[in-house]
């Protein structure tokens, strides 16, 4: 009879478990083989025991803070605050006097973090994300965590725990997701600057629907260390603010090299982005991407509003012309396979961390999520259950083939944008698609409605997450009293040009 023997907190497998593991991988172990591998694995356990004994290096938490509190719903009418706190940074710097809110997928040591999900209820990080440290070093004052969608998988704002985030222009409508609270808070004037995260449009969609400016910077320009991931190759974190100038200022602070972030290829190219905001775009050519329009009947009015807004660039002296990027619409299909299969492997199988990359691994978050996904798996949203079922099936049935092929296709999609960007400086289209503006919040949605709302806005935004091109949403119009966003996309590492175009457009005053 085999027995468990715990070695320094590490429990080796029993003989029965070894036989079960073998069967999962389609081979059998006879008695002699079982004993052979049992003894061999036992001889390797001292290495794991020693790792358990070694101290774990962690980033230093430099600024004092207290845990803060969760505001009542009465004091939180937009449901956009998850947590209120006060973490004051350095006495001087670029962000001195500025208040900042963080999407609740961003680690702030000593302050609770749920990532919008009941699965992480009770989790408290013990490290600051790299972007947090940079904000505090620049004198920023972090005053809370912004509500986000359940594990960040929704373009609408109905999935967050404990309640949907309300659109600041009309509380009956969605604020967009998954950085829902970040956009709602800054538009409502509750905070000066916010950070969101974008893996399919989750900065630009809520910026568009709520009437903010949101930047998905060039992939890896802003380090992702300490932010809850979805999929390593599409993870982005970035600013959501009221103005392009504020976005550029926050970008200057948080962008740059971070040796702990495996997404970065060093050195990272940075600029003084605020100096690019000259208002002069006479030398720019704006390409109006025809494939970004006409997604369906629901986008007719918003498409027209965006086209009228783009024409405003001609008043500024820029050249505007229609262009075609045939692979733009295929980008949504390629993205689907990357996110579904990749998210399953990194977040579900890899317990939010994944394997095989060099950088900082947050083992506390890993352990907490691993326990929760087993003990309270019923709390997974419909969207995450979809990811688990689809991701496992595609991995098991097709051996990761479609994820691999989709990653290969990404280079072709990226090249199709790059080809047009040889003749244009910026590509323009509506931010949100197929729905160009916010949908009403359904108080008790069916599972079908819940999933449909989540996938109602991302068709134009998601391709840039996998290609990595910088992309900003700037408010350009209102339709039925709700904001509509214009998305500008530029060449890799030319974030300054993207912001220059957005800032010049902003000066036209077409959005009010």
Of 60-64, 325-329, 385-389, 469-473, give the lowest mean pLDDT range. 385-389
Residue 7 has a pLDDT of: 53
Distance CA 294, CA 437 (A): 14
Number of H helices, E strands in the chain: 14, 13
Model confidence band, residue 5 (pLDDT cutoffs 50, 70, 90) = low
Q: Are 147 and 136 in contact (CB under 8 A)?
A: no
Interacting residues of 430 by C-beta distance below 8 A, sequence separation 6+: 292, 293, 299, 302, 303, 306, 436, 460, 484, 485, 486, 487
Residue indicated by tokens 């783009």: 310
Q: Residue 123: helix, strand or coil by DSSP?
A: coil
- The pLDDT assigned to 247 comes to 98
Q: Tell me the CA distances in angstroms from 512 to 157, 226, 342, 481, 494, one per residue in order.
A: 23, 36, 40, 10, 28
Q: Which helix (H) or strand (E) holds 134?
A: helix 130-137
Residues 84-95: pLDDT tens digits?
999 999 999 999
Residue 202 known to be catalytic:
yes
Which among 433, 387, 442, 393 is positioned nearest to 150, based on CA atoms?
387
**Active-site hit among 98, 103, 216, 437:** 103
- What is the arithmetic mean of pLDDT over 472-482? 98
The whole-number average pLDDT for the span 118-125 is 94
Q: What pLDDT, on the 0 to 100 scale, is given for residue 1?
A: 37
Sign of the alpha-carbon dihedral angle for 22, 23, 26, 27? positive
Q: Is the pLDDT of residue 40 over 80?
A: yes
Q: Could you tell me what percent of the chain has a pLDDT over 70?
A: 98
* HEC sequence for 273-330: HHHHCCCCCCCCEEEEEHHHCCCCHHHHHHHHHHHHHHHHHHHCCCEEEEECCCCHHH
357 pLDDT more than 80: yes
pLDDT at 369: 93
The tokens of 187 are what?
A: 């538009």
358 within 8 A of 485, measured Cβ to Cβ: no
Q: Is the pLDDT of residue 117 over 80?
A: yes
H/E segment holding residue 237: strand 236-241
Is a pLDDT exceeding 80 seen at residue 448? yes
Q: Taking a C-beta distance cutoff of 8 angstroms, is the pair 111, 125 a contact? A: yes
Q: Please compute the mean of the pLDDT values over residues 19-35 and round it to a whole number.
A: 95
Phi and psi angles of residue 83, each rounded to the nearest 5 degrees, phi first: -150, 145
Residue 255 tokens, joined = 């962008």
Instruction: Say which residue the tokens 């220059």 belong to.
Output: 500
Q: What is the mean pLDDT of residues 262-283?
A: 95
How big is the chain by its Cα radius of gyration, in Å? 23
Task: Answer whether residue 509 shows pLDDT above 80.
Answer: yes
What's the confidence (pLDDT) of residue 2?
Answer: 41
What sign for the dihedral angle of Cα 136, 140, 145, 150?
Answer: negative
How far is Cα 381 from Cα 69, in angstroms, rounded to an integer? 25
Cβ burial, residue 342 (10 Å; 0-12/13-18/19+)? buried
pTM over 0.85: yes
Residue 3 has pLDDT above 60, yes or no: no
Give CA separation, 25 vs 21, 29, 265, 350, in Å.
Answer: 7, 11, 36, 18
pLDDT digits (tens, 9 = 90+) for 384-397: 899 999 999 999 89
What's the mean pLDDT in 439-464? 94
- C-beta separation of 103 from 193 below 8 A: no
Q: What is the C-alpha to C-alpha distance for residues 236 and 224, in angstroms, rounded to an integer?
A: 7
pLDDT tens sequence across 192-248: 999 999 999 999 999 999 999 999 999 999 999 999 999 999 999 999 999 999 999
Number of C-alpha atoms within 13 angstroms, CB side, residue 197?
Answer: 33
Question: What is the rounded average pLDDT of the residues 137-152?
Answer: 97
Contact 431, 460 (CB under 8 A): yes
- Give the span between the Cα atoms of 430 and 202, in whole angstroms: 15
In this prediction, residue 8 carries a pLDDT of: 55
Assigned token pair, 375 = 């003990």
> Is the pLDDT confidence value at 464 over 90?
yes
87-99 in b/e burial notation, b at 16+ Cβ within 10 A? bebeeebebeebb
Catalytic residue among 154, 157, 160, 178: 178
What is the chain's mean pLDDT, rounded? 95
Question: Which residue in 174, 179, 180, 202 is the catalytic one?
Answer: 202
Please state, in angstroms and rounded to a whole number, the distance separating the CA atoms of residues 330 and 239: 28
């Amino acid at each position: 009879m085999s027995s468990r023997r715990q070695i320094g907190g590490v429990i080796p497998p029993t003989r029965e478990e070894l036989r079960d593991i073998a069967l999962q991988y389609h081979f059998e172990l006879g008695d002699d083989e079982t004993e052979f591998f049992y003894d061999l694995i036992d001889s390797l356990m001292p290495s794991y025991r020693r790792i358990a004994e070694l101290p774990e290096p962690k980033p230093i938490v430099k600024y004092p803070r207290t845990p803060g509190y969760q505001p009542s719903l009465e004091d939180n009418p937009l449901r956009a605050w998850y947590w209120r706190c006060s973490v004051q940074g350095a006495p001087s710097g670029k962000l001195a006097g500025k208040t900042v809110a963080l999407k609740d997928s961003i680690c702030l040591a000593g302050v609770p973090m749920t990532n919008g999900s009941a699965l992480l209820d009770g989790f408290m990080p013990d490290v600051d994300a790299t972007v947090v440290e940079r904000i505090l070093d620049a004198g920023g004052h972090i005053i809370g965590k912004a509500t986000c969608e359940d594990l960040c998988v929704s373009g609408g704002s109905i999935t967050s725990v404990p309640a949907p985030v309300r659109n600041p222009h009309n509380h009956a409508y969605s604020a967009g997701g998954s950085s829902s609270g970040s956009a709602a808070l800054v538009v409502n004037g509750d905070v000066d600057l916010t950070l969101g995260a974008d893996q399919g449009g989750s900065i630009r969609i809520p910026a568009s629907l709520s009437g903010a400016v949101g930047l998905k910077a060039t992939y890896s320009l802003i380090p992702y260390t300490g932010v809850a991931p979805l999929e390593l190759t599409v993870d982005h974190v970035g600013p959501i603010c009221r103005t392009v100038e504020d976005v550029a200022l926050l970008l200057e602070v948080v962008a740059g090299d971070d040796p702990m972030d495996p997404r970065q290829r060093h050195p990272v190219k940075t600029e003084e982005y605020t100096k690019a905001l000259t208002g002069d775009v006479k030398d720019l050519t704006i390409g109006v991407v025809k494939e970004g329009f006409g997604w369906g009947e629901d986008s007719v009015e918003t498409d027209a509003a965006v086209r009228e807004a783009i024409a405003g660039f001609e008043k500024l002296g820029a050249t505007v012309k229609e262009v075609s990027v045939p692979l733009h619409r295929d980008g949504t299909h390629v993205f689907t396979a990357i996110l579904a299969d990749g998210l399953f492997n990194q977040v579900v199988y890899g317990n939010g961390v994944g394997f095989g990359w060099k950088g900082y691994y947050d083992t506390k978050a890993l352990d907490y999520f691993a326990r929760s996904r087993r003990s309270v798996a019923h709390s997974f949203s419909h969207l995450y259950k979809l990811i688990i079922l689809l991701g496992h099936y595609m991995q098991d049935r097709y051996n990761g083939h479609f994820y691999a092929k989709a990653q290969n296709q990404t280079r072709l999609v990226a090249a199709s944008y790059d080809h047009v960007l040889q003749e244009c400086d910026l590509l323009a289209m509506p931010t949100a698609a197929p729905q160009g503006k916010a949908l009403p919040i359904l108080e008790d949605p069916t599972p079908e409605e819940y999933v449909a709302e989540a996938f109602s806005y991302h068709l134009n935004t998601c391709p840039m997450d996998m290609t990595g091109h910088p992309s900003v949403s700037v408010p350009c119009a209102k339709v039925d009293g709700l904001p509509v966003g214009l998305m500008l996309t530029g060449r890799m590492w030319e974030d300054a040009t993207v912001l220059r175009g957005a800032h010049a457009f902003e000066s036209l005053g077409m959005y009010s």
